Structure 1
Amino acid sequence: FVGVLIVIQPGCSLIPAFGAAVALAGALVTASVTLVIRILGRTETSFVTIFWFSVYTLPALTICAFIYGGGHDAQTWGYLLGIGIFGAFGQLGITQSLRYAPVSTIVPMDYSALIWATTFGIAIFGQYPGLSIWLGAPIIIGSGLFIAWREHVRASKLMVAKAEPSA
């Protein structure tokens, strides 16, 4: 959380406080969805999980499309179709991974999104990260990796305790 505060610098002119609040709410929802997908993965296939996730998010997305959407040319529709296809495969991959590995193992892989976003931001938009990102991102990534390591150690101790014969 400290790393996120360093990156977004709430209240500064670079990122408005409302935008930071929306981003933090989005992170909370994303974490909640990740846990629900993990639980559903115990009994449901990845395709079923993705189907119902899509059904439940469709009303909110439809409302947003009517409010903020507009007419698009053929090229934009092509981009949107590509985003949808790649997004579906990405969601399938994430859902499938959460079925076979603990959340503490999968979530640190999500931090690679910071690297990809930075790389694409530089390559496509010529936008270089500011100092706050260079300071906050390592804290975010480091804390995530620490949590993953700690959960791995905890799980290993639990496995050892279960394997030992009872007295």
Structure 2
Amino acid sequence: MSTQALASWQAWAVLSAVFAALTAIFAKVGVEDISSDLATWIRTIVVLVGLSAILFATGQFSRPGSIPTRSWIFLVLSGLGTGASWICYFRALKLGPVTLVAPIDKLSVVLVALFGVAFLGERPSLNGWLGIALIASGAVLIAFKR
């Protein structure tokens, strides 16, 4: 991938989707023989160690700078949301097939769009709304295929 491509949000979003897909597959296999909560804890430790290594390697841990109170509040809330999401996701993977769990989990895309409109004042285009509706429809169709 070129340096220019790595500077675009689109490239990072595609990489996020690829890694999220791999995460679902790896997690489904990893959670088979252990509790979903233990699996979530192991995943969290791996993320913590990995991000710590990146921060140390890039020098961002040595001088993090002043972090505003508002940032702390919303990052803590985001962390709590991430933890709750991971616990629920791993429990769902333990109980159900990844081909059904992951698409339902992706309804978060629809919820993000709705929350973005409600709380951040964002305004998707007509094409944006169509895409959001298609994602929602696809998740519903997949979830009720049985």
Q: Fold conserved (TM > 0.5)?
A: yes
C-alpha contact 2:104 2:139 (8 A) present in aligned 1: no
In 2, Cα distance between the equivalents of 1:76 and 1:125? 16
**Cα distance, 1:141 vs structure 2:** 4.2
- Alignment equivalent of 2:46, drawn from 56, 59, 74: 56
Aligned residue pairs total 136
- Alignment equivalent of 1:41, drawn from 20, 27, 31: 31
The one-letter code of the counterpart of 2:105 is D
**Cα distance, 1:149 vs structure 2:** 5.9
Q: TM-score normalized by structure 2?
A: 0.75
C-alpha contact 1:108 1:141 (8 A) present in aligned 2: no
C-alpha contact 1:38 1:103 (8 A) present in aligned 2: yes
In 2, Cα distance between the equivalents of 1:111 and 1:121? 16
C-alpha contact 1:40 1:49 (8 A) present in aligned 2: yes
- CA RMSD between the two structures: 2.8
Partner of 1:96: 91
Q: TM-score normalized by structure 1?
A: 0.67
Distance 1:136 1:47, change over 3 A: same
In 2, Cα distance between the equivalents of 1:17 and 1:77? 26
Partner of 1:10: none
Q: Percent identity?
A: 22
- Alignment equivalent of 2:129, drawn from 134, 141, 156: 134
Tell me the secondary structure at the aligned position of residue 8 of structure 2: helix
Q: Which of 1 and 2 has higher RCO (CA within 8 Å, sep 6+)?
A: 1
- Alignment equivalent of 2:101, drawn from 106, 129, 132: 106
The one-letter code of the counterpart of 2:19 is V
Question: Rg: which structure is higher?
Answer: 1
